[in-house]
């Protein structure tokens, strides 16, 4: 067994509190292996149970929307723990469990997924960065399009609901610089979970007008769930630098042309 593999096994055993008292071999004593570099932690269900069968994926770039083949992946063990053995650098992470238990393929309806509190995650040489995930289910596949920010200190938070006040899972919140919602948005939130809560980060402070829908591209289609924060100027808010502004509910209804 290589020195690095021994160290990884020892690390995983240490995480579970089961480190056997095995004396090091003579070559280990003469030349201890370099410290492990990577990301480790837990993936759990919302109930707190371990999310066995899930995978944690690491991407060097978010350009593909965290949807295509990952640069690195790690399976989640029965106790909910995982370990990504990586070189130093920055990585965009997503945890996902597919209904069929597979580790590859595009996101599908029924997937459970989670993002870290902050992307990208920085890995320092000789250090293990701890990142934990709590999986959420969504009504449609997760989409991370260009303009989607998964962390920041300026933006908006609130909840997406339908006409009856029920959360709209799987929808997105879009930010525009003015009330012209026909143009491309400058910022898009990740798909919201089953509670309908959103957190939309924007790249600058200032006035933003918010809309919500179940798609992110093209003009709204007839019948698509769609809504704005308010009519005209009432649909816009000022976000100060370093502020996550609570805007309350955005109501979605079938779009009518």
What confidence tens digit (pLDDT) does each residue in 82-104 have? 999 999 999 989 898 877 666 66
Backbone angles phi, psi at 28, to 5 degrees: -65, -40
DSSP 167: B
Cα separation, 236 vs 207, whole angstroms: 7
| Interatomic CA distance for residues 143 and 111, integer angstroms | 12
Q: Evaluate whether 171 touches 160 at the Cβ level (below 8 Å).
A: yes
CA atoms in the 13 A half-sphere facing the CB of 21: 0
CA 96 to each of CA 80, 89, 115, 214: distance values in angstroms, whole numbers, following the listed order: 13, 22, 9, 20
DSSP 10: H
pLDDT at residue 107 in the model: 56
**What pLDDT, in 10s, does the model give residues 113-164?**
888 877 889 999 999 999 999 887 654 444 555 445 566 789 999 999 999 9
H and E: helices and strands count for the chain: 2, 19
List, in order of start, the domains of the chain with CATH numbers: 35-137 (2.60.40.1120), 155-254 (2.60.40.1120)
> The pTM is what?
0.55
Average pLDDT over residues 240-253: 94
3-state secondary structure string, 20-54? Answer: CCCCCCHHHHHCCCCCCCEEEEEEECCCCCECCCC
């Amino acid at each position: 067994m290589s020195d690095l593999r021994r160290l990884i096994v020892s690390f995983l055993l240490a995480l579970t509190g089961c480190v056997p008292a095995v004396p090091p071999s003579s070559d280990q004593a003469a030349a201890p292996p370099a410290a492990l570099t990577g990301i480790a932690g837990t993936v759990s269900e919302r109930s707190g149970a371990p999310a066995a069968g899930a995978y944690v994926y690491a991407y060097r770039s978010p350009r593909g929307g965290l949807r295509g083949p990952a640069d690195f992946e790690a399976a989640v063990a029965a106790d909910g723990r995982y370990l990504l053995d990586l070189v130093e650098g920055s990585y965009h992470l997503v945890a996902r469990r597919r209904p069929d238990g597979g580790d590859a393929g595009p996101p599908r309806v029924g997937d459970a997924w989670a993002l870290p509190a902050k992307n990208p995650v920085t890995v320092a040489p000789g250090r293990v960065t701890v990142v934990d995930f709590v999986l959420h289910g969504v009504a449609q596949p997760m989409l991370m399009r260009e303009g989607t920010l998964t962390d920041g200190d300026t933006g908006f938070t609130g909840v997406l609901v339908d006409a009856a006040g029920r959360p709209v899972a799987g929808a997105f919140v879009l930010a525009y610089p003015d009330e012209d919602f026909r143009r491309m948005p400058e910022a898009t939130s990740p798909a919201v979970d089953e509670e309908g809560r959103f957190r939309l980060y924007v790249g600058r402070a200032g006035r933003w007008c918010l809309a919500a829908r179940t798609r992110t591209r093209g003009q709204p289609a007839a019948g698509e769930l769609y809504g704005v924060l308010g009519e005209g100027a009432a649909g816009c808010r000022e976000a100060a630098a370093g502020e996550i502004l609570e805007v309350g509910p955005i109501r979605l209804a079938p779009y009518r042309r």
